[in-house]
Amino acid sequence: MKSFSTRFPVLVTERRRFLRAGTGFALLAFMPRLQARGVGMTALSAVLPAPTLRLPDLDDKTVDLADFRGKVVLVNFWATWCPPCRKEFPSLGRLRKLFKPADLEVLAVNVGEDSETAFSFAGSPEFPLLFDRDSKAMVRWSVKGLPTTFIVDRRGRLALRAVGGREFDDPAIVTQLGDLLNLGRA
């Protein structure tokens, strides 16, 4: 009889990849410097267009980042099994309420989980919950660990990044977003 790895090589490869990635993600949970309140986001030195992001939401409707051109968009990659992700998730909703809907959108991209798992944790947030079930968006966006968050400016360019947990309604981040919103109007 053939072994499991011989009969299902793709599944074994994916499992190994996820386990290796999971080890890195778990390490982020134990790095307090990345979880600390008051830590802002890092400005990206190169002005690059945001990678493509077209993913299904809870209703299986496709949400496209390109449709939000003209707004600043926070794109948060997360999973329910990730402690820093779980800790920062409520702050995404609080941040969303601090800005006008015409100015800021939050897109929470769940990585590798089904909609029932994500919904049981998140409920019905006031922002789109998207699903990167095959982790292809995560690869396109060069996400190395969860949580990772990007800010896309009004022109669709990557502006800021945060690796590790944050409180997104922290004054340092709110100020960074406010500055970015004001720059976009100039």
**For residue 165, what pLDDT band results from cuts at 50, 70 and 90?**
very high
Higher pLDDT, 17 or 108: 108
DSSP 8-state code for residue 44: P
Single out the residue of 160, 138, 137 nearest to residue 72, CA to CA. 160
What is the percent of the chain where pLDDT is above 90?
A: 74
pLDDT digits (tens, 9 = 90+) for 13-42: 444 444 444 444 443 343 333 344 447 999
Q: For helices 83-98 and 115-122, what crossing angle results, to 10°?
A: 60
Q: 35 with 163: CB under 8 angstroms?
A: no
- What would the DSSP string read from start to end of 45-99? SS--BPPP-EEEBTTS-EEEGGGGTTSEEEEEEE-TT-HHHHHHHHHHHHHHHHS
- E strand map for 86-157: 104-111, 129-132, 148-152
Q: What is the pLDDT of residue 46?
A: 87
Q: What is the mean pLDDT of the chain?
A: 84
Cis peptide before 84 (omega within 30 of 0): no
Distance CA 155, CA 60 (A): 27
CB atoms within 10 A of CB 162: 22
**For residue 185, what pLDDT band results from cuts at 50, 70 and 90?**
low
pLDDT digits (tens, 9 = 90+) for 49-66: 999 999 999 999 999 999
Distance CA 13, CA 103 (A): 42
Q: What's the Rg (C-alpha) of the chain?
A: 17
> Tokens 């600043």 correspond to what residue?
72
Q: How many Å separate Cα 84 from the centre of its chain?
A: 12
Single out the residue of 28, 57, 18, 12 nearest to residue 139, CA to CA. 18
pLDDT digits (tens, 9 = 90+) for 1-12: 444 344 444 433
